[in-house]
Chains A and B, each alone.
Chain A
C-alpha cells in the first residue's frame, strides 16, 4: 500500500478528512482487507491510549515545590524592576548620599574657618642688608611690615624722614 494511502487511513480514523473524502476512504477500507487491517491496528492504539496516560507526580512536597516557584517569581520580578529603571536613576541611589556627605563637609569647613581663631600669616623676606617682617591680620584685614636695616652704615647714612619708617615701629602698608 502506498504511504499516502496509509496516511489517508489514519487521517480518516482521526476525523481529519473532509466529509466527501472520508466517505470514499471508508468505502475503500470496507472493501480492502489490507486497509481494513491497518485501520484496525491504528484504531486499537488510538483507543488504548485515549485517557490512559500513566499518572506521574513530582517527588517533592507541595510546600517545597511551591517555595521554588515563589522564589523564582520574586527574583524575576526584582530583575524586571531593575531592568525597567533608567541608568541615571540607578546611579542616583549612590550619588545622592555621596553628594550629601560632600555638601556637609563643605559646610563644616566653612563654619570652622569663619568661627575659628584669627590666623596671622608671617612672611619673611631678606634683602641684602635689610630685614623685613610682614604680618597679615585677617580679622582687621590689615598688613603690617617691619623693616630693619642691618647694614653697618645705615645708622649713620640714612636719614630718618618719617618717624613711621622708624626701624623699630610697624608701618601699615595697605588695607586689604
Chain B
C-alpha cells in the first residue's frame, strides 16, 4: 500500500519527487492540476488542447525537476512551463492559419482601438464576483489569441511588459499595443454584456 502523502508540505513533496519518488509527484499533480489546466484553458480556449497541454506540462515538469531550485513557488514554476507550451502551440497554429481580420486591424495605420469611444460608466460596477468572472470569461473568448494571451499574462499572471515580450518573442512596444487594444476591447465587450443583461 502506498503511503499517504496528502499531509506533507509542498517543499517536502518536491524534494522527494526530485529524488525520483513518483508518488510524491502524483500528489503535487493532484494538488495543482486544476490551476495548471485553468491556465492552459484560459490561453487556448479549447478543452482538449488545454487538457493535453496541461498534461504535457506535468511531464516536462517531472523531467526538469532537478532544475527547480525553489527561487519561486513550485506552482509558479509549473505555470511558467504550461504558459511556454501554450505559447509554442499558439505560434504553431498561427503559422498554419491566415492572419485574422482582428490582427490586421490592430496593425494597420489607424488602429480601431484608438478611435473607440471611452466606455462610461464602469461596465463592471455592481456585479457579483461570480457574475463578473463569468462575464470576463465570455468577453475573453471574443479576443484573438494574441490579445487574450497578453491580457492573461499581464492581469492573471501579473507579468511585467518585459517578461511578456520575452515569452511572446515580440517587442515591448507590441506588448503595450496589444494590451491597450485588449483592454479597450474588453471594456467594450463588458459594456455590451451589461446592456444585454439589463434589457
Chain A residues at the B interface, C-beta cutoff of 8 Å:
1, 3, 6-7, 10-11, 14, 16, 34, 37-38, 40-42, 44-50, 52-60, 62, 65-66, 68-70, 72-73, 76
What interface size band does chain B fall in?
Answer: 35 or more
Whether A45 and B38, one on each chain, are in contact in the complex, defined by CB atoms closer than 8 angstroms, is: no
Contact A69 B59 (CB under 8 A): yes
Provide 9 A-B residue pairs closer than 8 Å at the C-beta atoms, listed in order of the A residue: A3-B114, A14-B154, A41-B184, A55-B38, A56-B34, A57-B38, A69-B58, A69-B62, A76-B63
Contacts of B151 in A (CB 8 A): 49
Interchain CB contact under 8 A, B120 and A37:
yes
Indicate if the CB atoms of B33 and A65 lie closer than 8 Å.
yes
* A58-B33, A65-B55, A72-B55 known; A49+B156 contact, CB < 8 A: yes
Cβ-defined contact, B118 with A62, below 8 A: no
Q: Which of B79-118 contact A (CB under 8 A)?
A: 111, 114, 118
Specify which chain B residues have a CB less than 8 angstroms from the CB of A14 in the assembled complex. 154, 161
Task: Count chain B CB atoms within 10 A of each CB in A7, A44, A62, A68 and give the residue with the most.
Answer: A44
Partner of B51, one of A7, A44, A54, A58: A58
B133 within 8 A of A: yes
CA distance A35 to B196 in the complex (A): 28
Question: Whole-angstrom distance between the alpha carbons of A72 and B29 in the complex?
Answer: 14
Cα separation A60 to B47 with both chains bound (whole Å): 11
Known contacts A55-B34, A56-B42; is A70 also within 8 Å of B120 by CB?
A: no
Say whether chain B's binding surface is mostly helix, strand, loop, or mixed.
helix
Q: Does B136 contact A (CB under 8 A)?
A: yes
Determine whether the beta carbon of B176 is less than 8 Å from that of A7: yes
Write out the residue numbers on chain B whose beta carbons fall within 8 Å of the beta carbon of A42: 180, 183-184, 187
A38 to B123, CA, bound (A): 14
A41 touches B118 (CB 8 A): yes
A41-B118, A41-B187, A54-B134 known; A49+B176 contact, CB < 8 A: no
Contacts of A62 in B (CB 8 A): 30, 33
Q: Find chain B residues with CB under 8 A from A72 CB.
A: 55-56, 59
Q: How far is the CB of B73 from chain A (nearest CB, A)?
A: 16
- Interface residue B26 (Cβ < 8 Å from any Cβ of A): yes
Q: Whose C-beta in chain A lies nearest to the C-beta of B37?
A: A58
Is B55 a contact partner of A56 (Cβ separation < 8 A)?
A: no
Per-residue contact bits, chain B 14-45, to A (CB 8 Å; 1 contact, 0 not): 00000000100010011001100110011000
Closest residue of chain B to A39 (Cβ to Cβ) is: B118
Whether the pair A56, B41 counts as a contact (CB closer than 8 A) is yes
CA distance A45 to B63 in the complex (A): 38
When A7-B177, A62-B33, A69-B58 are in contact, do A53 and B42 touch as well, CB less than 8 Å?
yes
Nearest neighbor of B138 in chain A, beta-carbon distance: A54
Distance in angstroms from B183 CB to nearest chain A CB is 5
